[in-house]
Chains A and B, each alone.
Chain A
Amino acid sequence: MSRIDTTFGNLKRQQRKALIPFITAGDPSQQLTVPLMHGLVAAGADVLELGVPFSDPMADGPVIQRASERALKHGMTLRGVLSMVAEFRKQDATTPVVLMGYGNPIEAMGWEVFAKRCEEVGVDGVLTVDFPPEESHEAFEHLQRHNIAPIFLLAPTTNEARIAQVAKLARGYVYYVSLKGVTGAGNLDLSAIEQKLPQLRKHIKLPIGVGFGIRDAATAKAVSRLCDGVVVGSRIVQEVEDSTEQNVVANVGKLVKELRLAIDQ
C-alpha cells in the first residue's frame, strides 16, 4: 500500500483529519528545507506538500510568489527538490511527500525521467497546477508506471461531469480548492464548501483535502470538520518569510502545532 493510502487509512481509524502543510522548497534557503520538513512532521503534519518553485506562478498569491522568487534566487531546481526528498527519506520512511508546482519544469526534465526519479527518492504524489486532466494523459502514464499518485485539483467552478472524470484518474487524495482565487486569498466561504462537498463525495471515494485561504487555527478547525484533510500553504510560507534562519524551524513548528491542536480538538 502507498504511503498516502496508509496515512489516510490510519487517520480514518483514529477518526482524525489530515494536516497537510505546504512549504516552498529552497525557501528560506536550500539548507533549511529538509530540517523544516522534519519540523513539520514533528509538529503534527500528516502529509507534506513541497512546492517546486516556478518563474511564473500564475495560480499563486503574493506570499507564495515571493517564496518562489526567493527559492529561485537561491538556485532551487526540480533536480534539487528531488534530492531534498531523498535526503528527507533517510530519516523518515513513512510521511507522504507530494510535489506541487507547475508543469514546465517537469516538461523540461521529461515525464519519464521525472517519474522514475520520484519513485527512487520517495515522492508519493505529484500535483501540477496547470495540467488539468485533459492535458495529463502523458503525465498520468509515466506517474502510474512508477507508482506516483497524480493529485488533481477540483474547484468551486468544477461541474459534476468533470468531478466524475477526475474521480477516475485521481489517486491518493483529491485537493479541493476552497475558493475562486489564488493561494492565500481571503474570501473563504465555509457554507459554500459545505454545499459543494456532497457533490464531490458522490463521485470521489478518495480522501478529500481542502486548501487555499486557510489562514488560522479557527478556519483550519472549521474546514477539517467538512473533509478529510486541511492544506495550509500561504500562512506557513508567511511564517517562513517573517522568521530568521535561526528561528524559522521553531516558529513554523509552533504554528503547525497550533493548527494540529485545533484540528484534533
Chain B
Amino acid sequence: MTYNYPDNSGHFGQFGGIYMAETLIPAVEELRQQYLRFRDDPEFQAEFAYELKHYVGRPSPIYHAKRLSESLGGAQIYLKREDLNHTGAHKINNAIGQALLARRMGKKRVIAETGAGMHGVATATVAARFGMECIVYMGAEDIQRQAPNVFRMKLLGAKVVPVESGSKTLKDACNEAIRDWVTNVESTFYIFGTAAGPHPYPMMVRDFQCVIGNEAKVQMPEMIGRQPDAVIACVGGGSNAIGMFYPYVEVPGVQLIGVEAGGHGIASGQHAAPLTANAKVGVLHGNKVYLMQDENGQIIETHSISAGLDYPGVGPEHCLLKDIGRAQYVAIDDDEALNAFDALCRFEGIIPALESSHALAHAMKIAPAMSKDKVLLVNLSGRGDKDMNTVAKLKGITL
C-alpha cells in the first residue's frame, strides 16, 4: 500500500479541502505555494531542525513507565515526553515551523486561536522569539479554566482577546481568528494550532508535528529492539496524534489508536468525540470532516474537562484513517481521564495535561488484558501545570 495524502487540491479522500470565504482563498493559496517551496528547501529544514534542537529541546525522550505498568500487570507503557518540550506541549513544534514560514513570507503580525492555551502560549513564545506582534483569540470560558496560561501569554507580550460568542470555547476562538484574518489578510499570518482547517494547514501541521513519530521510530528500537505494538494519542483537532501516527502509517504491526474526549459519556451526548460517536460529515473552519452537529446542520456544543479536546470536529486525515481502517478511534470520559491523571502523578512523578491523560487512560484500560511483553507507546502531549485549577476544582479544593 502506498499512502499519499492529501491530493493536490488538499483532499484526504472526501475530507479536507478549502472551504473558506473568497477573501481568504488567495491567502491559503499563497500559503500553500510558499509552504511547498520551503518544505523542499534544505536551508529552511536546517533552520527548523536547529530551532527544534536548541530552542524546543528535542529530541524528547521516551520513558518506560515501569511502576505504572507493573501496577496494571499487563502491557508495558512507554511515554513519548512531549511534556518536556519548551512551553510544555507538542504545540511548539508546529508554532516554530509556522513562525519560520511567516518570517520568510515577510509577515510581522501573527494570530492564533487557543483552547487549553498551550497553542496560544507556544505562539506567543515564538512571536517573542522572532519579534512579531501576536494576538491570541480564546473563548471566555477557556480563559476561566486556563487562567495561568492567559497570564503566561501576556507575560510573553501577546494580546489575549476573549471571545464571547457562541459556546465561548475553541470553535468560537477559531471563528474570531478567521474574522481577524479576513480583515488583516495582507499583514497577518494565521498560526493555526491543529491538523485541521483549510489546505495546506492539515498537511503542514502534520509535517511539522511528524518529528514526534520520526523520533519515536528511532528511539523505540534503541530502547527495546523493536517498534511498539500500538501508539496511542489524544485527539482534539488531531495534531499530536497525526504527528505520532503519520510516520507509522506504513509500518505493519503497529496499531494506531486515537483517543477522543468522551466527556460525560458518549450516550450522554455531552462529549467531544465525533469519530467515536459516528458524527456525520460536515463543513466547518475550512474543511470537510466528521463533525458534531444537529439534524439541521448546526454545530452543537461539546463538553470535555480538557479545554484542548473540547472541539466538535477533527482533522481530515483522521477522518480518512478511520474510514480506511488504518487507525482506530475510541473515547475516554472525564472520570477515566482524571484517574489516569492521578495515577501518573502517583506512580511516576509526572503530572500530565488533562488532554494527554485521555491517551494514557486508554492505555491503562487495555494494558491489563495484554501480555507483559506487549508495548504501548503513549504520546504524552503536554504537562499538567495549566490544569491545576481545573483539577483542584474537580476535587473540591480551592487553591
From residue A247, how far is it (CB to closest CB) to chain B in Å? 27
Give complex CA distance A158, B20 in Å. Answer: 13
Q: Is the CB of B182 within 8 A of A180?
A: yes
Interface flag for A15 (CB, 8 Å): no
| Chain B: interface residue total (CB-CB under 8 A) | 41
Inside 8 A of A54's CB, which chain B residues have their CB? 297-298
Q: Is the CB of A56 within 8 A of B185?
A: no
For B251-284 the 0/1 string (1 means CB < 8 A from A) is 0000000000000000000000000000011111
Q: Is the CB of A129 within 8 A of B183?
A: no
Residues of chain B in range 260-315 having any CB-CB distance to chain A below 8 Å: 280-286, 288, 291, 293, 295-300
Known pairs A78-B296, A78-B297, A107-B283; A182 contacts B22 (CB<8 A): no
Q: Is the CB of A177 within 8 A of B22?
A: yes
From residue B94, how far is it (CB to closest CB) to chain A in Å? 22
| Chain A: interface residue total (CB-CB under 8 A) | 41
For A54-70 the 0/1 string (1 means CB < 8 A from B) is 11111101000100010
Q: Is the CB of B9 within 8 A of A134?
A: yes
From residue B192, how far is it (CB to closest CB) to chain A in Å? 13
Residues of chain B in range 174-192 having any CB-CB distance to chain A below 8 Å: 174-175, 178-179, 182-186
Interface flag for B18 (CB, 8 Å): yes
Give complex CA distance A152, B22 in Å. Answer: 9
Inside 8 A of A132's CB, which chain B residues have their CB? 18-22, 25
Interface flag for B166 (CB, 8 Å): yes
Interface flag for B230 (CB, 8 Å): no
Q: Is the CB of A153 within 8 A of B297?
A: no
Give complex CA distance A102, B298 in Å. Answer: 10
From residue B93, how far is it (CB to closest CB) to chain A in Å? 27
Interface of chain A, main secondary structure? loop
Q: Is the CB of A56 within 8 A of B182?
A: no
Q: Is the CB of B22 within 8 A of A79?
A: no
Looking across the interface, which residue of chain B has its beta carbon closest to that of A129?
Answer: B21
Chain A interfacial positions (CB closer than 8 Å to B) = 54-59, 61, 65, 69, 72, 77-79, 102-109, 129-132, 134-135, 152-159, 162, 177, 180-182, 185
Interface flag for B371 (CB, 8 Å): no
Inside 8 A of A69's CB, which chain B residues have their CB? 165-166
Interface flag for B17 (CB, 8 Å): yes
Known pairs A108-B280, A132-B20, A135-B18; A180 contacts B183 (CB<8 A): yes
Q: Is the CB of A162 within 8 A of B26?
A: yes
Known pairs A56-B166, A78-B296, A78-B297; A131 contacts B26 (CB<8 A): no
Interface flag for B171 (CB, 8 Å): yes
Q: Is the CB of B171 within 8 A of A104?
A: no
Q: Choose among B26, B291, B298 the residue with the greatest number of A CB atoms under 10 Å from its CB.
A: B298
